[in-house]
Amino acid sequence: MPKLKITQSEKLYAEAQQYIPGGVIGIRRPLNFVPGEYPIFFERGKGGLMWDPDGNEFIDFLCAYGPIILGHAEDELDEAVAAHMKNGFCFNLAQKWQNELAKKVCSIVPSAEQCFFVKTGSGATGAAVRLARYHTGKNKILQHGYHGWGDWCAPVHGGIPDHVYKDTISFPYNDLDALEKLIAENKDEVAAIMMTPLSHELNHDIEMPKAGYLEGVRALATKNNIVLIFDEVRTGFRVAMGGMQEKYKIKPDLTVMGKGMGNGYAIAMVVGKKELMQSMIDGKVFISSTYFPNSLEMVAALKVIEIMERENVIDAIWKKGERIMKKISAAIEETKAKAHLSGIPPMWFISFPNVEGGDSKAYRNRRVRFFTECIQRGLFLQPYHHAYIAWRHTDEQLDKAANIIKESLSIVMKELP
């Protein structure tokens, strides 16, 4: 395949670097894709497709890192938001939409007795940790997964005082013994267990909970007076409307959700037990922002939920995901590719394990080659982040994507067996 033309994208990137550190911030930098092969800017999107400034069309399986649950530029949703704009949406006092969304959320999420709204997943996880620390009078956080860019959890420690980060301790997923040992080693010091109930760490296969694992974590938290927090920013409104806790029937004390609930509009939330939420009332736990009460995103979330319930979006996404995962599994088997497919239909990941062992670079080369072939053929995946299915992905797009994946795997195996 010829190299993708990304002239305009690169021009915008060169301009951006004059005014913005790195040109674009965080995980959207070219280094996190395949430098020189992937577009760096996008122009527009519609449904399950996106176009870059050079006019290249892509089937989008990254879905803005998860928020796009319906599809890009969803007409019914955007029309509802545009109509609401005419009344104003940013005031110093709340509007009724806050109450409407809160009532709806509490009817959907199993553990939600009360809730409050923020703008981002990082804001939600930070607020949940603060509530847990105040409620328990303890400081340490045991965590698994990615929980944002806050000082307490950022994966890179630059600019964070050592004493802040030392209170956060990581634990391995699906290992109750390891978690129990950490609790014992930090006896009476652990305020919260913060975890993604479905393991989806950066550049790792998606891992499902073993039988009894989540129940065991719940029991350990209860026994040791630890607040159990589920980070369902990605799994909420995607695995099920009420997230993994609905599917596995486990009630955490607090839950953070975001992404899919707004289909791209910036909204997230903390839900949970009323007794924990009440800590905010006495003024000793401060959580506030100029933009938290904005009703624009609340109206968007209400419309997203309405569409999802009316159209049985979750069921549709599972069926679409099953369709393509079946084809990808067959492609891996047929091409005998040294690749691995993990995850569940709404969110899955293609990885290239280090089958040679040691410090072999072969698996890295296979990964780079595979994702280069995919992007040249119009399939947008991320080498280090899992894929998502959107409601507007068509069967035609799914089948085309599966064929691209098969063709790309075949090339990898021919050139880098």
- Calculated CA dihedral for residues 227, 233, 234, 236, nearest 10 degrees: 80
7-73+312-415 topology per CATH: Aspartate Aminotransferase, domain 1 (3.90.1150)
Gap between the Cα atoms of 387 and 371, Å rounded: 13
Q: Report the amino acid identity of residue 247.
A: K
Asked whether 390 and 60 are in contact (CB, 8 A), the reply is: yes
Exposed, middle or buried: residue 94 (CB in 10 Å: 0-12, 13-18, 19+)? Answer: middle
Give residue 358's pLDDT band: very low, low, confident or very high (50, 70, 90).
confident
| pLDDT tens digits along 129-164 | 999 999 999 999 999 999 999 999 999 999 999 999
Tell me what pLDDT residue 28 has.
86
Rounded mean pLDDT of the chain? 96
Q: What is the DSSP letter of 388?
A: E
The rounded distance, in Å, linking the Cα atoms of 340 and 336 is 11
Q: Where are the domains of the chain?
A: 7-73+312-415, 75-310
Position 359 scores a pLDDT of: 85
Torsion, Cα 207 212 217 221, to 10 degrees, reads: 160
Q: 341 φ, ψ to 5°?
A: -105, 125
List, edge to edge, every strand of the sheet that includes 347-351. 340-344, 347-351, 387-388
Assigned token pair, 134: 């105040």
What is the pLDDT at residue 201?
87
Residues ≥6 apart with Cβ < 8 Å to 326? none
Element (H, E) at 50: strand 49-51
CATH number of 75-310: 3.40.640.10
Q: What is the mean pLDDT of residues 32-48?
A: 96
User: What is the secondary structure of 324-350 as a DSSP string?
Assistant: HHHHHHHHHHHHT-S-EEEEETTEEEE
Give me 160's structure tokens. 């964070």
